[in-house]
Amino acid sequence: MAFQKFKIFLISFLLFAYNILIKSWNLFKFPIYTEDEGTYVSQASALWELGQLSYYTYWYDHAPIGWILISIWQKFLSLTLLDFGNSLNNTRVFMILVSCYILWCLMQILTHFKVSNVVKYSAAIFYIFSPLIVYFQRIIFLDNLMIAFVMTAIVLLLDTSKTMRVIFSAIFLALAVLTKESAVFFVPFFLVYGVKKFYSSNKKMLLTLWATFFGFMVLQYPTFALLKGELLPKSIPLLGNPGQVSLIDAIFFQSNRSENFWSPDSALWYSLRTYWLQFDALLIIAGVVGMLWGLVSSIKSEHKNHSYIWVLGLSYIFYLLRWQAQEWYIIPLLPICIISCALLLDKLRVLIPKNLFYTLLLVIFVVYVPINTYANRELYVKDITHSQIDAVQWARDNITTDGITVIDNYAFLELNDASKAIEYQKYHYFWKVEKDPEIREGLINNDHKNIDYVLMTPAMEDDFAQEEFPFLVSYISKARLVAVIGDIYPIKVYSLNGTTEL
């Protein structure tokens, strides 16, 4: 018995060690630092430095639990004096720890459903080495934190022998929704699973208790907006405040970002072709097949609890089909795909001959995984962030004026003084310069002459091509190119007023 426990401990230790190694290798060099990463990390900093949810006007684009969690990590690093080079590197390390926690939850779920050890450990290895998971779990996206909360809620609900587990399951699912609102599409699983679990064990009141705590926690967000006078739409006469942001307006804005997913030009098909299938076609296809098998299994066999896992995946896929599916929206689905694949594989272990089953595992881990890892080797060898780091240093060395410089938000904390309010900062996020009245009409006064430089990243160029940025596009058309920094991910510096020459 002692040897068995030691063996389980050793295997688990090696799995977590490999997870850290694989996802940390080249972590600070690939992929690029994104504007969303800069946004969440700077908003976390604003909590500690200014006691605000954002340096800019908080417009309820997302609930704040995600960057509250990041701010706690920032405080931990400051107390321990740990530093990994810059604010984004520091938080990417936190993402690796979140990845390990999701792996632990995944193992707990598969153990509960009595999946065989060989399948459970195979699923863990696939989770560790999947390039699609490696890529997205390195990046500071709220989706990674959201699915960690969802997985916690699932683990807690698996055992309803203690009332506090049910209560905390509801609380953690509410925290998921208050991290990224798309977590509401996981609620159907908890309702379906809860009805089966509680009704079959004559604990109907536990479902009511779960729903009560979940609803109470989620309602704290609109209550917060109501107390600030920012709940109702600006358009409502008398009640609406035309000078303020609105939670309901933000919800309508997010919910109206729908598209025709059948169109080959849709964001869904672009993400599918460019990211999801390219990084790991097997995970996506097998995951969906596993969910469909779960659907069929739930119809045929009512006694199998794990057949309801399919609700998690298919309800979230509905969300992907309904709204503009940006490439990172797949993140919450990835652990669910791993679970679905494991449950399907465990079923095949029983249905097919043993030799065929182990041959299948051999093909997956000796052929597919190495080939797919090599095909996506840029994750481990390519340095694509050096131009972003060089651009920050260039700005520090060359921009000596006190005028406004427009930047991609990844550099916000690296170039600004985190302890100062936004009106005292001179480096500003391009989205805010274009669309935030406080910045464009207040600091800049709608005048190009008040902008000294624009540090244009390729991501900014893409946004300028797809969105409405007439003010900044007009600036670029008049400005001269004064520097190009980097080659793989070149950052172009434009200026009307600056003195630095190319």
The 10s digit of each residue's pLDDT in 73-90 is 999 999 998 999 999 999
Give the separation between CA 407 and CA 415, rounded to whole angstroms: 10
Place of tokens 């919450």: 332
Nearest 5°: phi and psi at 482? -110, -15
Residue 439's pLDDT is 95
**What is the dihedral sign for C-alpha 319, 325, 331, 334?**
positive
Q: Rounded to the nearest 5°, which phi and psi values hold at 456? A: -95, 110
pLDDT (0 to 100) of residue 394? 97
Query: 488: part of which helix (H) or strand (E)?
Result: none
Q: What pLDDT is recorded for position 160?
A: 80
Instruction: Tell whether the torsion through CA atoms of 369, 372, 377 and 379 is positive or negative.
Output: negative
Cβ neighbours, 10 Å, residue 150: 29
d(CA 53, CA 40): 10
pLDDT in tens, the chain (502 residues): 787 888 888 999 999 999 999 999 999 999 999 999 999 999 999 999 999 999 999 999 999 999 999 999 999 999 998 999 999 999 999 999 999 999 999 999 999 999 999 999 999 999 999 999 999 999 999 999 999 999 999 999 998 888 899 999 999 999 999 999 999 999 999 988 888 777 666 677 888 899 999 999 999 999 999 999 899 887 775 555 555 799 999 988 887 777 777 777 888 999 999 999 999 999 999 999 999 999 888 877 654 545 688 899 999 999 999 887 899 999 999 999 999 999 999 999 999 999 999 999 999 999 999 999 999 999 999 999 999 999 999 999 999 888 899 999 999 999 999 999 999 999 999 999 999 999 999 999 999 999 999 999 999 999 999 878 999 999 999 999 999 999 999 999 999 875 555 4
- pLDDT tens track for 471-480: 999 999 999 9
Residues 172, 157: Cα–Cα separation, whole Å: 11
Kind plus residue range of the DSSP H or E element containing 494: strand 491-495
Q: Which residue has the tokens 């430095």?
A: 49
Instruction: Fill in the amino acid letter for 119.
Output: V
Query: Which residue type occupies 495?
Result: S
Q: Give the DSSP H or E segment for 455.
A: strand 451-456
Q: Residue 237: its pLDDT value, please?
A: 56
> For residue 502, what pLDDT is reported?
45
Burial string for 21-41 (b: 16+ CB within 10 Å, else e) reads: ebbbebbbbbbbbbbbbbbbb
Peptide bond into 31 cis (omega under 30): yes
Q: Which residue type is seen at 305? A: N
Cα 439 to Cα 40, 73, 430, distances in angstroms: 19, 29, 10
HSE at residue 6, side-chain half, CA atoms within 13 A, is 3
Residues 415 and 396: their CA atoms lie apart, in Å, by 7
The number of helices, as runs of H, and strands, as runs of E, in the chain is 25, 5
Name the nearest CA neighbour of 124 among 338, 431, 409.
338
Strand spans (E) along 321-408 = 404-407
Q: Is the dihedral of CA 195, 330, 149, 146 positive or negative?
A: negative
